[in-house]
């Protein structure tokens, strides 16, 4: 959750106090929204917290792939691999 009193700062403030911001990022593990002329321009985040987000995204992607596979199974949209490869070889003129 973003704390608007600490986690939204101007780019100018970040430039002036970057060491202080880096300590805050490591301690809080929360991103900081940097603004330019009052509008969000960038997000700065601790590397460990960013890696955690990447891990969560990868896990969600894998779960979605499994969900789609199960849906295909339940809807009868699967066929044996040997049938697929036989058709593929015939279609593309491949012979074993």
pLDDT tens per residue across span 30-83:
999 999 999 999 999 999 999 999 999 999 999 999 999 999 999 999 999 999
User: What are the φ and ψ backbone dihedral angles of 76, each rounded to 5 degrees?
Assistant: 75, 30
pLDDT surpasses 80 at 96: no
Torsion angle in degrees (nearest 10) through CA of 1, 5, 35, 22:
-80
pLDDT one-digit tens code per residue, 21-33: 999 999 999 999 9
Torsion angle in degrees (nearest 10) through CA of 84, 87, 90, 92:
-60
Mean pLDDT for the chain overall: 93
Report pLDDT for 95.
79
Calpha distance 25→44 (Å, rounded): 8
Report pLDDT for 30.
92
The answer to whether 18 and 46 have CB atoms below 8 angstroms apart is no
| Residue range 7-17: mean pLDDT, rounded | 96
pTM attached to this predicted model: 0.68
- What percent of the chain clears pLDDT 90, i.e. is strictly above it? 91
Query: Would you give the DSSP letter of residue 96?
Result: -
């Amino acid at each position: 959750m973003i704390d608007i009193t600490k986690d939204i700062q101007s780019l100018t403030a970040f430039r002036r106090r970057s060491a202080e911001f880096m300590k805050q990022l490591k301690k809080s593990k929360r991103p900081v929204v940097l603004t330019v002329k009052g509008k969000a321009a960038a997000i700065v985040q601790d590397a460990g917290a960013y890696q955690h987000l990447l891990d969560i995204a990868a896990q969600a992607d894998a779960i979605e792939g499994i969900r789609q596979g199960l849906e295909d199974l339940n809807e009868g949209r699967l066929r044996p691999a040997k049938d697929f490869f036989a058709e593929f070889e015939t279609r593309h003129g491949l012979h074993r």
